[in-house]
Amino acid sequence: MTSSGKLHPLELKLPPLLVVLLTAALIWWLPPLWPLSLLAEIALLLMAAGVVICLWGALSFRLARTTLDPRVPHQSSQLVDGGIYRFTRNPMYLGMALSLLGYGLWLGKGSALLAVVAFVLYLNRFQIIPEERALAHRFGDSFNRYCQRVRRWL
């Protein structure tokens, strides 16, 4: 939100999956800044863990019958704070970041770490903060207590 109280033009506009695809394309395009000689198994493990974490978060929303569209947090029908949401407030975004990191390692690009950091910073500013603002407005003290108990990422 800007100092005038208006939303920034990028807040809640880009679907996070589009941001993942754009970041993956950036990782593909980036030249290796330093070589990585990690085993492919580590990269695959990170990607698989990321997918499982994303799906667990999405399933929790489905079971709670609340919106999965992060661009409309004001349409959330209930606060989901169980399951994986006991450990992280943003498991789907965490899973996306892990998958992107694994993808970059798979390609052998240390520069992928920079792209993942940019992804996290973008999501924090233009997706998560506006989402949390809307959820605090919708769920009040329940959401504020949840934020005190559970970290944003890990």
pLDDT tens per residue across span 19-43: 999 999 999 998 876 666 656 788 9
Is residue 73, in this structure, part of any structural domain at all? no
73 within 8 A of 93, measured Cβ to Cβ: no
Is residue 25, in this structure, part of any structural domain at all? no
Q: What pLDDT does 55 receive?
A: 98
How crowded is the C-beta side of 11, counted as CA atoms within 13 Å?
15
How crowded is the C-beta side of 143, counted as CA atoms within 13 Å?
17
- What range defines the domain where residue 143 resides? 36-67+79-149
9-46: burial string, b at 16+ Cβ within 10 Å, e else? eebbebebeebbeebbebbeebeeeeebeeeeeebeeb
* DSSP category for residue 39: -
- Positions in the chain short of pLDDT 50: none
Is residue 7, in this structure, part of any structural domain at all? no
Q: What pLDDT does 128 receive?
A: 98
Domain total of the chain: 1
Is residue 91, in this structure, part of any structural domain at all? yes
Is residue 23, in this structure, part of any structural domain at all? no
Is residue 144, in this structure, part of any structural domain at all? yes
Is residue 49, in this structure, part of any structural domain at all? yes
